[in-house]
A = this chain, B = another copy of it.
Amino acid sequence: MPAVSSSATRILGIDPGSRLTGFGVVDFEGDRARFVDAGVIKTGNGELSERLEVIFDATRELINRHQPDTLAVEQVFVSRNAGSALKLGAARSAAICASFGSGIALAEYSPREIKRAVTGTGAADKAQVQQMMRMLLSLDTLPQADAADALAVAVCHANASRLSGALAAAARRA
């Protein structure tokens, strides 16, 4: 994998789950997006704490390997039952904790913001997100669903950063 150029921004997107945690690494330079890596962290069938260790270690490894500028994490959907919310909150926390001490920025987006950023609608289904990621990043094959969601978090953050950058530039000109 070529090193990221100095003007590009590298984003590690994470779609946390206690069983399957998607990840996606994308470089952005202006309007161009370049795929770097994506996949799914499978946490196995152990105790929750063992699964948290898998997420924590794997996320830390991804940060060390890819040196992203920002970790962008999908916010958790809270309208589930309390038991699911507890595990999902724990999985998300493990990914976030893996970034502490590394000096990288942290950004969080709701599932609705992410879908809207990558498909134009907050109600897109998983298959639409997979198709969009394949097209946008010129992938040969459809990314796995959780990996596609993680790539979408990265794209959502790049869009949000560009927008806030453009607004700041407009404010300076005004």
Which A residues are within 8 Å of any B CB, using their own CB? 49, 52-53, 56-57, 76, 78-94, 96-98, 100, 106, 108
Copies of this protein, total? 2
Q: Is the interface of A mostly helix, strand, loop or mixed?
A: helix
A89, B85: Cβ atoms closer than 8 Å: yes
What's the Cα separation between A93 and B97 when bound, in Å? 9
Nearest CB of B to A159, in Å: 20
16 other contacts beyond A49-B106, A89-B93, A94-B96, with CB at 8 A cut-off?
Answer: A52-B93, A53-B97, A56-B100, A57-B100, A78-B86, A80-B82, A81-B82, A82-B82, A82-B85, A85-B89, A89-B90, A90-B93, A91-B93, A93-B94, A93-B97, A94-B97
What's the Cα separation between A88 and B98 when bound, in Å? 18
Nearest CB of B to A58, in Å: 11
Q: Which residues of B contact A90 (CB under 8 A)?
A: 89-90, 92-93, 96
